[in-house]
Amino acid sequence: MAVTTAQLVDWLERYAGVIAEQKQYLTGLDAAIGDGDHGINMDRGFQTVLVKIEPVKNKDAGTLLKTTGMALVGSVGGAGGPLYGTFFLRAGAALDGKSDVSREDLVSALEAGLKGVVERGKANLKDKTMVDALTPAIARAKARVQEGASIGEALSSAAEAAETGMKGTIPLKALKGRASYLGDRSIGHQDPGATSSYYMLRTLSEALAEVPQGAKTATS
Amino acid sequence: MADVTTATRLKKLINSPESEVKDALAGMAAAHADLIRVEYDPNVIIRKDPPKKGKVGLVSGGGSGHEPMHGGYVGLGMLDAACPGAVFTSPTPDQMARATKAVDGGAGVLHVVKNYTGDIMNFEMAAELARGEGAKVNAVITNDDVAVQDSLYTAGRRGVGVTVLLEKVVGGAAEAGYDLEKATALAKKVNANGRSMGMALTSCIVPAAGKVTFEIADDEMELGIGIHGEPGRERTKLRAADEIAEILTSTVVKDLPYKRGDEVIAFVNGMGGTPLIELYVVANAVNRYLQKEGIKPARWLVGSYITSLEMAGCSVTLLKLDAETTKFWDAPVHTPALRWGV
């Protein structure tokens, strides 16, 4: 079952909604170990995304995600802007020109996005960053697709893995970003970037789960 | 509606957290129309006179809330452009890419970047964009804050007070015709010869957050504070200014280390909420300490030049001088916040 641009738009709208709802929570997580602006910055970014994607909602998935990436790069600032911006730019580049995205295409796009994040931020697993949520989640999505699961099932498993990865950042000592200055004092706090990354995968899973099996939404 | 509530509760001179940066930029543009012009979306403060052919462009940027850094340093003998981000949030690559293009006189552009994860990544993306359009771009990273551990296990030392001194010295050199490689080498030398440490008496309030960044009791101070209210080395009981100045200065001196016979610029900086009279009290103690150690404060800068909104507190920066650094520190400068020799 192909994923449509409309579903990806639904994803971005859901994600923007969750970020807006959780703005204070994310900012609170960041205040504990960072500089206390993650929720504010991400919300500003996704409100911009909602405006900027309006003219490209009927275009291909690559254009949609690249537009999202550019909107984030140009509006979020901080570390979140380049990292989430790069994620969507790379994922979009992997889906260039595609309106019907296969399960495998989508997983490849997520992998390309993650690769971009790792290159930009130079974080390793267990550094207490968004990579700790994204890496196990995208690996799980890939494995489930290879086993023959539907994209909805695969992303549902991925969201679970992201949640586990997010919670797994709590006992870690931060080795990247501003939280690293705290050393041992960063232990016991959940990483805000891993949290917003979990929301990203959970909303993607929701957007893909809600389309009934066999029903294909028309795109332009 | 929410904005009005927030602004009232915050008791700040703002109209709304969202409009603060743009309102202030428009104010700067009006007040310093002889020196700078401001472009919006992307927000960039640019030197009024057009890029000089053959002169290296100097671009810096960072979160807003540290005024007069960086916009106040745009002008003759200092920066060619500055990119203000949201309060305490790094600017975005489109801003630095625009600034780079606007000031490139064909001799290349040097980015001055403070060592924060976000700033580094956004400037890297901007440099990639600008190089894609054929510009020659180098970057120098400032990381002079001795309060944070520099190791493989942290993001490294933060860029603080030395950034201001570097922008002046390298700006002077660029004005004098240094090429991109020479300007880059000088910038690296200045950063390597400078060290800083700060402290806070009170917290700052980021308007969009609407509350104090950290809680601190009336009889406490935070030693080693960053310029965004990030925690430092130690929370401790408040002491007399002389003692505080000695802690900051001795920590800075021992770090490089500065040695007997060295000449330095001594820079006593206010964090935004501390009056100048208190900074001079600190300067007096810094001077006494340096004299005792046989270090000569050959130049001084005392005032609030790299701030953290309304935070009360100070930082002490030392920069070791040599003939080249002294020459370009003394060179003429004419910007909204620094002016001498013209």
- Interface confidence, given as ipTM, is 0.79
Question: Residues 56-115, chain B: which have Cβ within 8 Å of A?
Answer: 63, 85-86, 88-94
Task: Please provide the average confidence, as pLDDT, over all residues in chain A.
Answer: 92
Q: Quick one: pLDDT at residue B9? A: 63
Q: Quick one: pLDDT at residue B5? A: 43
β strands within chain B, DSSP E:
36-39, 44-47, 57-64, 81-87, 109-114, 137-142, 194-200, 220-223, 234-237, 263-270, 296-303, 313-320, 333-334, 339-340
Q: Quick one: pLDDT at residue B2? A: 43
**CATH of range B23-193; options 3.30.1330.10, 3.40.50.10440, 3.30.390.30, 3.40.50.300:** 3.40.50.10440
Banded model confidence at residue A172, pLDDT cuts 50, 70, 90: very high
Kindly tell me if the per-residue pLDDT of A177 is higher than 90: no
Residue A220 lies in a domain: no
The H or E element that residue B124 is part of is: helix B117-132
pLDDT tens-place string over residues B149-183: 776 678 889 999 999 999 999 999 999 999 999 99
Banded model confidence at residue A210, pLDDT cuts 50, 70, 90: low
The pTM score is 0.88
Residue A193 lies in a domain: yes
Banded model confidence at residue A78, pLDDT cuts 50, 70, 90: confident
Specify whether B70 is catalytic.
no
Task: Tell if the CB–CB gap between A74 and B94 is shorter than 8 Å.
Answer: yes
Phi, psi of B185 (to 5 degrees): -65, -40
Q: A82 near A98, Cβ under 8 Å?
A: no
Residue A219 lies in a domain: no
Give residue A89's domain range: 3-209
B228 → closest Cβ in A35, A40, A121: A35
User: How many residues does this entry show for chain A?
Assistant: 220
CATH number of the domain at B194-332, please?
A: 3.30.1180.20
The H or E element that residue B8 is part of is: helix B2-10
What is the domain-level CATH number for residue A15?
1.25.40.340
Q: Which residues of A touch B85 (CB under 8 A)?
A: 77
Residue A98 lies in a domain: yes
Q: Which residues of B touch A86 (CB under 8 A)?
A: 125
Better-predicted residue by pLDDT, A34 or B71: B71
Residue A155 lies in a domain: yes
Q: Quick one: pLDDT at residue B216? A: 95
Angle at Cα B29 formed by Cα B52 and Cα B16, nearest 5°?
Answer: 140
Strand order in the sheet with B313-320: B234-237, B220-223, B194-200, B313-320, B263-270, B296-303
Q: Where are the alpha helices (DSSP H) in chain A?
A: 5-21, 23-33, 38-52, 61-73, 80-94, 103-121, 131-146, 151-167, 192-209
Banded model confidence at residue A192, pLDDT cuts 50, 70, 90: very high
Q: Quick one: pLDDT at residue B101? A: 95
Domain parsing of chain B, residue ranges: 23-193, 194-332
Residue A215 lies in a domain: no
CA distance B87 to chain A (A): 9
Q: Which residue in B has a C-alpha nearest to residue A73's C-alpha?
A: B92
Residue A126 lies in a domain: yes
Kindly tell me if the per-residue pLDDT of A103 is higher than 90: yes
Q: Quick one: pLDDT at residue A212? A: 53
Domain count, chain A: 1
Q: Quick one: pLDDT at residue B50? A: 78
Residue A216 lies in a domain: no
Residue ranges in chain B whose pLDDT is less than 70: 1-9, 151-152
Distances from the Cα of B10 to the Cα of A35, B36, B86, B211, B310, angstroms: 19, 30, 17, 8, 12
